[in-house]
Structure 1
Amino acid sequence: GTLAKSMNKATPEMLALLKQLRGKVLIGVVGGSNIGKQQEQLGKDCLNDFDYFFSENGLCAWKNGNVLATTSIKDHLGEKNIKDLVNFCLRYIADLDIPIKRGTFFEFRNGMINVCPIGRNCSQAERDAFEQFDAKAGVRSKFVAELKKRFADKMGLQFSIGGQISFDVFPIGWDKTFCLRYVEHVPTVHFFGDRTMQGGNDFEIYSHPRTIGHAVTDPAHTMRLLRELFFKEVPAPLPLVSLPQKLPPPPPPPPP
């Protein structure tokens, strides 16, 4: 919802603006999705179109197209904890009373587990319908609340709701602020995101003291803010005008 509408490609206008912006400042993108989904939205060559590129909240990091680092949730949690979490989610989804269910309820990524109550292989129309249903029924927020009670302290897990149909599960601190360790040398970091409310997957980095956060509603809003912040017309300096020098005071009259 920041650079492109959910599950849609970024527009040529957006990509052209980002290219212009890169000529002025360092630019980077951070998302919760894996690199494949980001390439679907931003183009196959997106790793080379940004100075920094972060997928899975920064657990997979690139600089100028070269790998910086990767971090694995599997190594961090261990198979037993992952199995306990997945088994609970399967039972919970089985008992969910929602209008439709499809398939692919889990997506195991390097840095997180993505949980989707409706199933990720639903159609775009079904995705849109579930988003509207969830806004009223709170399916994802209730699911997350239950997981927090059972697993947050036990496994040190954090949860964030993003996009239209799913939420992410990851170790505490592995939210989007994870990527900030790679830009510590950058004095000012502007962040733009559409899920900046508490519980949204942009909240932690949006409110982090290292960033200047900008909440956006859609890609058009992002473009407008970028133009206002980085492409303002600088007024031409006023021409120098030679001012007449003050004449020295006249000498005093001679004494009588």
Structure 2
Amino acid sequence: MEKQEINYVFDIDGTLTPARLPIEAVFKTFFLEWIQNKKVYLITGSDYEKSVEQIGPEILEAVTACFNTAGNICYKKGKVIYRNDWSAPPDLIHLLNQFIENSKHPIRAGRHFEHRIGMLNFSIVGRNCTREQRNDYNLYDAEVKEREYFCKTIMEQFPEIEATVGGQISIDIYALGMNKAQIIKHIKGPIHFFGDKTKEGENDYAIAKKLTKLPNRVFTVKDWKETMEILKQYNRNS
């Protein structure tokens, strides 16, 4: 039987780049060379503009496709291939505003809602926060598990909606099933997935859960440096 070509699928934030920051120059050079003659896909909760900002147009031109906003829109070389539209219901927005009012975390920096194609990104501290405020909230949430509570409450009150912990400060909200796992149906053959949020309740969990059986593989990484080391191992084994 002819060996099937592997499809490599990478989360972006925290896997290819530091959280919310551009890709490191040394890794960008390595990654651009590594992806040559391979089927490589990117999947992220962020919009396409943020992907351009984080990893640059060169990588986006070189990969097979980039799935943004949890796979609710797909780009190939900058052109839209498909999109799924969805809007959060008013009752959900009301609940999220209650979270903002009742959270014991002291900082409200503004821009708590970010409406993206097919999903809503929500944050207590807000996307206008400084790097220090972002890190402070991440430490606070690690202790009290506030975002996990938000996700659980949302899904209890809105069974047709899914909510997952994403990044350092936010949660991702979308229609049930419209998470990162939806991209699997657009990829033929075995998938090797790299992500940093693969625990239950996190935004890489849905796709990772569906790729547990061989010939698929899941690599949970702590940062871009670990991703780079694993890819170097691929080179040594090839």
TM over 0.5: yes
Alpha-carbon distance in 2 for matches of 1:73, 1:45: 30
Q: Report the 3-state secondary structure (helix = DSSP H, G, I; strand = E; otherwise coil) of the residue aligned with 1:128.
A: helix
Shift in Å, 1:233? 5.5
* Matching residue within 197, 206, 223 for 1:195: 197
Q: Report the 3-state secondary structure (helix = DSSP H, G, I; strand = E; otherwise coil) of the residue aligned with 1:57.
A: helix
Give yes or no for the alignment of 1:111 onto 2:118.
yes
Aligned twin of 1:61: 74
Aligned twin of 2:6: none
Give yes or no for the alignment of 1:212 onto 2:217.
yes
Specify every segment of 5 or more residues in structure 2 that has no aligned partner in the other structure, as ranges.
1-13
Mean Cα deviation higher: 134-143 or 37-46: 37-46
Q: Report the 3-state secondary structure (helix = DSSP H, G, I; strand = E; otherwise coil) of the residue aligned with 1:27.
A: strand
Aligned twin of 2:52: 39
CA RMSD of aligned residues (A): 1.6
Q: Is the 8 A contact 2:154 2:161 kept in 1?
A: no
- What count of residue pairs does the alignment treat as equivalent? 222
- Amino acid in the other structure paired with 1:164: Q
Shift in Å, 1:17? 2.1
Give yes or no for the alignment of 1:2 onto 2:15.
yes
Larger Rg: 1
Shift in Å, 1:18? 1.9
Alpha-carbon distance in 1 for matches of 2:29, 2:64: 15
* Matching residue within 170, 181, 184 for 2:185: 181
Shift in Å, 1:95? 1.6
1:30-64 Cα offsets, whole Å, 9 max, x none, are: 00011121111111444313111111111110224
Alpha-carbon distance in 2 for matches of 1:14, 1:207: 27
Q: Is the 8 A contact 2:164 2:172 kept in 1?
A: yes
Q: Is the 8 A contact 2:112 2:127 kept in 1?
A: yes
Q: Report the 3-state secondary structure (helix = DSSP H, G, I; strand = E; otherwise coil) of the residue aligned with 1:140.
A: helix
Q: Is the 8 A contact 1:53 1:62 kept in 2?
A: yes
Shift in Å, 1:125? 0.7
* TM-score, with length taken from structure 2: 0.88
Give yes or no for the alignment of 1:161 onto 2:165.
yes
- Amino acid in the other structure paired with 1:189: I
* TM-score, with length taken from structure 1: 0.82
1:57-114 Cα offsets, whole Å, 9 max, x none, are: 111102244321111013xxxxxx6111101111221121112111011111111011
Shift in Å, 1:115? 0.8
Higher relative contact order (CA 8 A, sep 6+): 2
* Matching residue within 22, 32, 37 for 1:19: 32
Give yes or no for the alignment of 1:84 onto 2:91.
yes
Aligned twin of 1:48: 61
Alpha-carbon distance in 2 for matches of 1:106, 1:82: 13
Instruction: For 1:94-173, list aligned pairs within 5 A.
Output: 94-151=101-158, 153=159, 156-173=160-177
Mean Cα deviation higher: 201-210 or 166-175: 201-210
Alpha-carbon distance in 2 for matches of 1:202, 1:11: 22
Alpha-carbon distance in 2 for matches of 1:36, 1:113: 16
Q: Percent identity?
A: 27
- Amino acid in the other structure paired with 1:99: P
Q: Report the 3-state secondary structure (helix = DSSP H, G, I; strand = E; otherwise coil) of the residue aligned with 1:54.
A: strand
Q: Report the 3-state secondary structure (helix = DSSP H, G, I; strand = E; otherwise coil) of the residue aligned with 2:194.
A: strand
Q: Is the 8 A contact 2:163 2:173 kept in 1?
A: yes
Q: Report the 3-state secondary structure (helix = DSSP H, G, I; strand = E; otherwise coil) of the residue aligned with 2:236.
A: coil
- Amino acid in the other structure paired with 1:227: K
Q: Is the 8 A contact 1:21 1:27 kept in 2?
A: no
Shift in Å, 1:24? 3.6
- Amino acid in the other structure paired with 1:108: H
Which 4+ stretches in 1 moved above 3 angstroms?
Answer: none
